[in-house]
Chains A and B, each alone.
Chain A
Amino acid sequence: MNHWIIAPVVLPAMLAPIIGFVMRHDISLARAASVTGTLFLAAISVGLLIMATSGETYVYKLGDWEAPYGIVLVLDRLSALMVFLTAILALIVLIHAIATGWDNRGRHFHALFQFQLMGICGAFLTGDVFNLFVFFEVLLIASYGLMIHSGGRERLQAGLQYVVINLAGSTLFLFALGTLYATTGTLNIAHLAVRLGEIPVEDAALVRVATMLLMIVFAVKAALFPVQFWLPGTYANAPAPVAALFAIMTKVGAYAILRVHTLAFGPEIAATDGVAGDWLFPAAIVTVAIGALGVLGSRRLMPLIAFSVVGSMGTLMIAISAFTPEATTAALYYLVHSTFAAAALFLIGDLLVSRRNADLLGAMPVTVQNGLFASLFFAAAIGMAGMPPLSGFLGKLFVLDTIRDPGEITWAWTAILAGSLFTIVGFARAGSVLFWKSTATPAPAPVEGEALAVMPAARPMELAPAMSALTLLVLLAFLAGPVTVYLGRTADQLHDRAGYVGAVLGTDLEG
């Protein structure tokens, strides 16, 4: 048994209390510890990624109890990829938060940040749905703290709303798990796959209810229509680096749908076939529409970016809802892309908003480094809207190409293409108001006796995280070939249900 599999959970879990209790009075000490911890996490995740490349499914039995009696962590290509993605994003966000001083505007940023990483990595690694619930709660409770970091009236109100919605979601999650346990007698995902396959369709009513409840809970996390309404308010009011980190949180929901549905509720299983899957596609289409219209209608920069995240989640879910290996490959490529595109936009938005002193989309006197910010925003918007040459274009093309169902193809193409057009128009309008019209606005005359607050130009350290996120988008576009081959193998492994069940339970799917 390889103990490195549990390291992405244990490392932040050990580090966070140390930062919280021992280093709480010394911000530079906390910063150093947090960056070191995240660097180690990135190194471990690279190691796990290399390990998973072999194609084997590694199982970590906690307390050495055999599955399904004990809890297992499972490392395959997909979970290794997601942990790697988390670690890289965390590093970018953390450096931004430190360089801009966000982490010092409230208390316990670094401790909460590490707890958040622990929850996210755990959710990606676990092979047990109740354990998934526990890691969801860990990442949520940390995200509550991060969401209201540095306070403020609007942020606290939005934070309260976010907490209430997620608590209601957690209760629903428990109802779903209770029903699932009552009907199948297990909560291990691999064991669920076996047990659900044995249930005849006539006796499946309760299982179907549990399936639907579970998918609704995951849809809340993934911001899928009709439970997407919490996202714009939360992301727009969260501190910008936190919003950038939250880019991976919606992906946790998407990952949970992908993993649990493919393994346990998939088309091979008569009892739950088509219960949730049939709803995902129309919901994803509506989500794309909401995202596109939201981008077009926003009057502030941060909600605009938040709505573009909703739109990208819709596109991602269109690809996921097909549940074929090809579509999953496209979904994974788009998932990696949209995570970094959203993060880049939020980080650039933060640099910009903090210099304009308002995030209203209106003409204001030009700020320092107008050209630099304009080009950064332009690049990130191109990535998010899905125009060439960045990876968003390839990702959307890939998604369009893999939707083959004749009943779905018209809807999917219309939604994605029209959604992209709306997003482009929305971003173009925002960019021209922010950068072009502002140059025509004269600077206000300095008021007598009042020092004019001039924001300093962005230092290289502040620009580096946003730029590295953009660089990753460029790399993802350039290395699309090798990346797609790898993601294709990842998708094949995910859809190899017998392989997963065999690795976890040591039996074949029928046994």
Chain B
Amino acid sequence: MELVIATSVAALTAGGVYLILRMRAFAVIVGLALLSYAVNVFIFASGRLMVNEPPILDKYGDGIYTDPLPQALVLTAIVISFGMTAVLVMIALGSYLESGDDKIDLDGPDTGTADAAGDAK
């Protein structure tokens, strides 16, 4: 169980980092999604791995239960990363349509024409 969780977190993280380093919008979005899956599984495991145990204390039980807090944290993290991915897709699409290029790179902050000029008109 531990081995499966650990390997999957490692594989997802490695894939995510590799894709982010590709510096292309689509690859980066998929990479960030992989990373967020990895971190969700990771947080889930941070409350110790328990199989078939309730997330509440049993009144008569011997005190074996799975930690409910990481489940709540994961739920928050999932919602946030889902929303963020949606925002990222929209901004990447906007950037691609404006520039006709999906590279995540600037020409350098010091070059190019000031687009404040365009705004002032």
Contact = CB atoms under 8 A, between A and B. Distances in A.
Interface string B93-104: 011001100001
12 contacts: A158-B109, A160-B25, A161-B105, A178-B42, A181-B46, A181-B73, A182-B45, A182-B46, A236-B109, A299-B110, A299-B111, A300-B109
Chain B interface, DSSP helix/strand/loop, else mixed: helix
Interface residues of A, number: 55
B81 to A, nearest CB: 8
Interface in A149-176: 150-161, 163-164, 167-168, 170-171, 174-175
B61 interface: no
Given A161-B106, A164-B28, A181-B46, A353 B95 contact: no
A157 B119 contact: no
Given A178-B43, A178-B70, A355-B120, 11 more contacts: A144-B87, A148-B91, A152-B118, A154-B115, A157-B105, A160-B25, A160-B92, A236-B109, A300-B109, A302-B114, A357-B121
Contacts of B109: 158, 232-233, 236-237, 300, 303, 306
Contact of B104 (A105, A154, A160, A350): A160
B42 A157 contact: no
B-side interface size class: 35 or more
Given A159-B95, A171-B32, A181-B46, A105 B106 contact: no
Contacts of A137: 80, 84
A354 interface: yes
Interface string B73-94: 1001100110110011001101
A155 B115 contact: yes
A298 interface: yes
A455 B119 contact: no
In the complex, which of the residues B25, B109, B112 has the most CB atoms of chain A within 10 Å of its own CB atom? Answer: B109
Nearest to A299: B110
A164 B43 contact: no
A156 B91 contact: yes
A239 B118 CA distance: 12
A105 B118 CA distance: 11
Contacts of B42: 174-175, 178
B111 to A, nearest CB: 8
Contact of A167 (B69, B88, B116): B88
Contacts of A302: 114, 116
Contacts of A237: 106, 109, 115
Contact of A153 (B92, B98, B111): B98
A245 B60 CA distance: 56
Contacts of A161: 104-106
